[in-house]
Amino acid sequence: MLRTTDLAEALTLAERLLSVAFWYDSDGCYVSAWAHNDDVLRRLTEASPEADVRWYGEGWVGFPAMVTWGVTSFPQGREALGIWADITRCYILWHNMKWPAVPELGLDEEYKYAELQVACNSHTIHCEEWAPEHTVFIHARPGHDERAAWLAAQVDAQVVGPPEFGW
């Protein structure tokens, strides 16, 4: 939906999109990053000691490790993401929410596929490759591309790329 080198701009758009959501639970949010070495893992866990670390290396031990921290408010998420984005590629995901019904498009309210994400230093939802920009993603039911365009229009934005296969 948006690519920018300004993290504050990406988070401001995310906050505006959350205001369009029919409902969202601020506890339904987390920040995640992959750590591929000791230095990144140490820096992430020092910045957020409450974070959970899960190992994905051979035999489920060793690197890479996924570091995840559940945040409980938008300001807390903004702060954590700002710190983590200076360390590595990472993202914040709001997942316990509902997109509103859009009767003129024949769309009911959406809960199952309703998510909002800001990926830092990446153009993909999984943050596989480094990029100089941060990307705002609207997650919606497959085939409901018009919902993303409608949501973007509600916050004076537009969809900037093709759909990406999600989780």
Which three-class secondary structure string do you get for the chain? CEEECCHHHHHHHHHHHHHHCCEECCCCEEEEEEECCHHHHHHHHHHCCCCEEEECCHHHCCCCEEEEEEECCHHHHHHHHHHHHCCCCEEEEECCEEECCEHHHCECCECCCCEEEEEECCCCCCCCCCCCCEEEEEECCCCCHHHHHHHHHHCCCCCCCCCCCCC
Task: Tell me whether residue 166 is in a domain.
Answer: no
**Residue 146 within a domain:** yes
Residue range 58-69: mean pLDDT, rounded: 93
What is the residue range of 7's domain? 2-32+71-154
Asked if pLDDT for residue 167 goes beyond 70, the answer is no
Amino acid 143: pLDDT: 86
- Encode pLDDT of 81-128 as tens digits: 999 999 999 999 999 999 999 999 999 999 999 999 999 999 999 999
Q: Please indicate, yes or no, if residue 114 is contained in any of the structural domains.
A: yes
Give domain status of residue 112, yes or no. Answer: yes
Asked if residue 94 is part of any domain, the answer here is yes
